[in-house]
């Protein structure tokens, strides 16, 4: 039985995507796949059982029906945190090992998903990723998402901590402009240090997209028009604070971008509507005039009204698009195709001893 631990250099790097994609790939090859997320940070109750939100979703995608309390034996609730910092955590690794033994019985492959970062998260209770990998005899796949640069220092630290237990690294969400440096400079450098690069997944606008209805909820805004079009997808955003002529030039270059604009800027609002923006986000709790509202309904372009100023909303949007959870099956299937096309599964299997 093979055990694969999916960890990352930072939060929101793509652990869900890689865990699901590996599981789906192995299932298609006829292997019996199990799943575990030893430490969960987002508790959720389903029926009379409590588990981790991500773990419930990954199991659903993989068609698994396992006991949530075995899948995620360590749930970081408020009570858990208080106990950890007062009386201590106790021997959590022992409980994780016992749960893993039960879940892995009869399986060909176990996908074990990390929480937070591989080297850091859980250290205060002795359940950081590198320790779990050693305790369960797993091979680790480290996901590193491009965020202004690749985290090559962290990758080298992970290799030093895990040695041959680190099966390899997957670089995720790498923009086209950085791809040449990633493949021509960073990858050869790390490979000379003994790090196996399993794949480089390019940025894809759909993977960072969010539905308008979900966006309104995350911004604590109110959807005031074209409410039936909440399924429209936002891939990026533009700020409409400039003159109309300058805004129009930028707007033409960015498709599927929500436009964040003051509620009193009807000139920019009209340009965005006529340019087929997926939605308008009006700031300052200012409602549009009747002409804009009518045009919005005719063009079926939703308008969200929020209380904050344009700068605050723009910062929120940046965080939302960076950390939006993978919850849509269209995105899951698209992401799995990206992983299959860009990860060297032959190398991965070799590193796993399959």
pLDDT in tens, 169-223: 999 999 999 999 999 999 999 999 999 999 999 998 777 778 888 889 888 999 9
pLDDT at position 327 over 80: no
SS3 per residue for 159-223: HHHHHHHEEEEEEEEECHHHHHHHHHHHHHHHHHCCCCEEEEEECCHHHHCEEHHHHHHHCCCEE
HSE (side-chain half, CA atoms, 13 Å) at 157: 13
Summarised one tens digit per residue, pLDDT across range 80-93 is 999 999 999 999 99
Asked if 71 and 59 touch (Cβ cutoff 8 Å), the reply is: yes
Asked if 272 and 252 touch (Cβ cutoff 8 Å), the reply is: no
Phi, psi of 351 (to 5 degrees): -70, -30
Per-residue pLDDT, 325: 62
User: Who's near 157: CB < 8 A, 6+ residues apart?
Assistant: 119
CATH 3.40.1390.20 segments of the chain: 208-323
Q: Sign of the C-alpha dihedral, residues 288, 291, 296, 297?
A: positive
CATH 3.40.50.300 segments of the chain: 2-203+325-352
CATH number at 208-323: 3.40.1390.20
pLDDT at position 167 over 90: yes
Calculate mean pLDDT across residues 146-166: 94
Name the β-bridge partners of 170: 143, 199
Among 23-27, 50-54, 142-146, which stretch is predicted with the lowest mean pLDDT?
50-54
CATH number at 2-203+325-352: 3.40.50.300
User: Who's near 39: CB < 8 A, 6+ residues apart?
Assistant: 72, 74, 76, 114, 115, 116, 121, 122, 127, 132
Name the β-bridge partners of 35: 111
DSSP E strands in the chain: the ranges are: 2-8, 33-36, 39-40, 43-46, 49-52, 74-75, 109-113, 139-145, 166-174, 197-202, 210-211, 222-225, 233-234, 236-239, 257-262, 280-283, 303-305
pLDDT at position 251 over 80: no
Asked if 109 and 147 touch (Cβ cutoff 8 Å), the reply is: no
Per-residue pLDDT, 333: 87
């Amino acid at each position: 039985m093979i055990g694969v631990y999916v960890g990352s250099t930072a939060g929101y790097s793509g652990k869900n995507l890689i865990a699901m994609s590996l599981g789906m790939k192995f299932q298609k090859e006829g292997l019996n796949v199990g799943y575990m997320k030893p430490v969960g940070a987002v508790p959720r109750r389903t029926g009379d059982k409590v588990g981790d939100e991500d773990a419930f979703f990954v199991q659903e995608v993989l068609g698994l029906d396992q006991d949530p309390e075995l899948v995620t034996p360590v749930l970081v609730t408020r009570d858990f945190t208080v106990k950890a910092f007062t009386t201590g955590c106790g021997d959590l690794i022992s409980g994780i090992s016992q749960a893993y033994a039960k879940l892995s019985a009869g399986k060909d492959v176990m996908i074990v998903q990390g929480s937070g970062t591989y080297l850091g998260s859980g250290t205060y209770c002795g359940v950081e990723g590198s320790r779990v990998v050693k305790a369960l005899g797993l091979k680790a796949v480290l996901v590193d998402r491009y965020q202004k640069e690749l985290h090559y220092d962290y990758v080298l630290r992970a290799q030093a901590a895990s040695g041959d237990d680190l099966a390899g690294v997957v670089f995720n969400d790498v923009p086209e402009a950085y791809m040449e440096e990633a493949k021509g400079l960073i990858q050869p450098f790390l490979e000379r240090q003994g790090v196996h690069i399993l794949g480089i997944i390019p940025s894809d606008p759909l993977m960072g997209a969010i539905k308008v209805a979900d966006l309104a909820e995350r911004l604590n805004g109110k959807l005031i028009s074209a409410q039936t079009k909440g399924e429209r997808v936002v891939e990026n955003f533009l700020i409409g604070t400039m003159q109309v002529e300058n805004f129009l030039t930028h707007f033409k270059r960015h498709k599927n971008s929500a436009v964040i604009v003051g509620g009193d800027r009807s000139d920019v609002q009209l340009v965005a509507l006529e340019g087929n923006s997926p939605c308008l986000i009006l700031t300052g709790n200012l409602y549009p005039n009747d002409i804009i509202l009518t045009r919005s309904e005719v063009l079926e372009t939703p308008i969200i009204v929020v209380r904050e100023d344009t700068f605050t909303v723009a910062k929120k949007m940046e965080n939302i698009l960076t950390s939006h959870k993978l919850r849509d099956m269209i995105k899951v299937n698209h992401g799995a195709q990206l992983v299959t096309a860009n990860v060297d599964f032959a190398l991965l299997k070799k590193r796993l001893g399959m």
